[in-house]
């Protein structure tokens, strides 16, 4: 198992397959001025498989495909098949907004996907359309139902809480766990990439301390669940009599950098060493240069990336990533 210089086990690789998205969430993507990677700069399905094989060689076991919105990749099923069949991959998950999941859930499951996380900020149609811009609640909900029917469980819903948008929605989202064996997780805003979205993330920040208080005032006290995985970024709770789990991901109010086990691969082939820092190592150049054992070359770069992984973010000092926004990193 690879360990970084702070003795953290790093065994989880999040692979961004595309930087495009079919939503424009207010805290993530502006409506204008966006530039996306040309297809030639995206890693191919075969190159992504090579990175997965290299990661397994280094000691990585857990993998997630992210975006932008990964379902916009025309060859997503091929990517899933290639990564899932790599010997040593113990779990392959996908983060999605579920807009295209109604038709893709069953094929993705057959291809080898094991679980999904769905981004959904509210159960209120009007709030979804305002906060997730271009979002359609009915389509998202159909996608979630299709995923559950296909066995992509447990369903995890991720809601980013923004003041003046959806802070009142957290109660209805939490209430889902009373009847469904879902994980509903609330995520604090993080200022990434500069620009208007980062500014909004600061101005509209809601602490998960406040979100938890709001839920308990409406639905009753929650009991904290023992952690099954020390590297889980969520602190998990359960309402009395509930079938599901409520999680709080609190990078600002309760940073979890000390137990981080993640490395990120950007869609253009860079190992991004920490979500909230700009440090990166180039992988695509090695994959596309002539000769040699490509998998071992990538493995060596990944070992170096693990060794260079920083201790944590610097949000409290007012510093965050400036070069990339969330949709360019993959969350």
Predicted confidence (pLDDT) at residue 193 exceeds the cutoff of 70: no
Cα 312 off chain centre by? 17
pLDDT of residue 50: 98
pLDDT of residue 99: 98
The span from the CA of 294 to the CA of 282, in Å, is: 13
pLDDT of residue 40: 96
Residue 29, judged by CB atoms within 10 A of its CB (0-12, 13-18, 19+), counts as buried
pLDDT of residue 229: 81
- Local confidence band at 4 (pLDDT 50, 70, 90 cut-offs): confident
Q: What is the average pLDDT across 188-212?
A: 86
Domain 12-159+259-328 CATH assignment equals 3.80.10.10: no
pLDDT of residue 317: 57
The span from the CA of 238 to the CA of 212, in Å, is: 11
- Local confidence band at 329 (pLDDT 50, 70, 90 cut-offs): confident
pLDDT of residue 158: 98
pLDDT of residue 143: 98
Nearest residue to 284 via CA among 84, 96, 68, 16: 16
Q: What is the average pLDDT across 181-207?
A: 87
Residue 146 CB partners (closer than 8 Å, separation 6+)? 101, 102, 103, 105, 106
Structural domain boundaries in the chain: 12-159+259-328
pTM tops 0.85, yes or no = yes
The span from the CA of 42 to the CA of 48, in Å, is: 10
Q: What is the average pLDDT across 124-149?
A: 97
- Local confidence band at 231 (pLDDT 50, 70, 90 cut-offs): confident
Q: Which of 167-176, 218-227, 242-251, 310-319 has the lowest mean pLDDT?
A: 310-319
Q: What is the average pLDDT across 205-232?
A: 94
pLDDT in tens, 18-58: 999 999 999 888 888 889 999 999 999 999 999 999 999 99
Between vectors from CA 113 to CA 179 and to CA 231, what angle results, nearest 5°? 70
Residue 156 CB partners (closer than 8 Å, separation 6+)? 115, 116, 117, 118, 182, 183, 184, 185
Ordered DSSP codes for 312-324: --BGGGTB--SS-
Predicted confidence (pLDDT) at residue 278 exceeds the cutoff of 70: yes
């Amino acid at each position: 198992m690879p360990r970084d210089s702070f003795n953290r086990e790093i065994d989880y690789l999040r692979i961004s397959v595309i930087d495009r998205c079919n939503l424009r969430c207010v805290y993530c993507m502006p409506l204008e001025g966006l530039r996306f990677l040309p297809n030639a700069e995206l890693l191919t399905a075969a190159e992504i498989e090579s990175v997965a094989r290299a990661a397994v060689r280094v000691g990585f076991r857990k993998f997630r495909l992210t975006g932008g919105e990964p379902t916009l990749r025309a060859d997503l099923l091929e990517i899933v098949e290639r990564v899932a069949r790599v010997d040593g991959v113990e779990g392959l998950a996908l983060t999605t907004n579920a807009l295209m999941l109604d038709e893709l859930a069953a094929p993705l499951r057959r291809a080898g996907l094991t679980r999904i996380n769905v981004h959904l900020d509210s159960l209120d149609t009007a709030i979804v359309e305002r906060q997730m811009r271009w979002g359609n609640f009915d389509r998202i909900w159909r996608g979630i139902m299709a995923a559950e029917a296909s066995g992509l469980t447990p369903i995890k819903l991720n809601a980013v809480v923004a003041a003046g948008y959806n802070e009142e929605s957290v109660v209805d989202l939490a209430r889902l766990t009373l009847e469904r064996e879902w994980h509903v997780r609330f995520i604090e805003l993080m200022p990434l990439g500069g620009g208007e979205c980062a500014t909004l993330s600061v101005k509209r920040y809601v602490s998960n301390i406040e979100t938890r208080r709001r839920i308990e005032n409406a639905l009753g006290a929650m009991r904290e669940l023992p952690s099954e995985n020390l590297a889980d970024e969520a602190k998990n709770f359960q309402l009395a009599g509930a079938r599901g789990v409520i999680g709080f991901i609190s990078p600002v109010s309760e940073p979890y950098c000390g137990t981080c086990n993640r490395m990120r691969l950007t869609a253009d082939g860079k190992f991004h060493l920490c979500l909230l820092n700009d440090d990166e190592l180039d992988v695509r150049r090695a994959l596309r240069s002539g000769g040699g054992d490509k998998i071992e070359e990538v493995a060596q770069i990944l070992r170096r990336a693990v060794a260079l992984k920083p201790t944590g973010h610097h949000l409290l000092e007012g510093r965050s990533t400036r070069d990339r926004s969330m949709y360019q990193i993959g969350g």
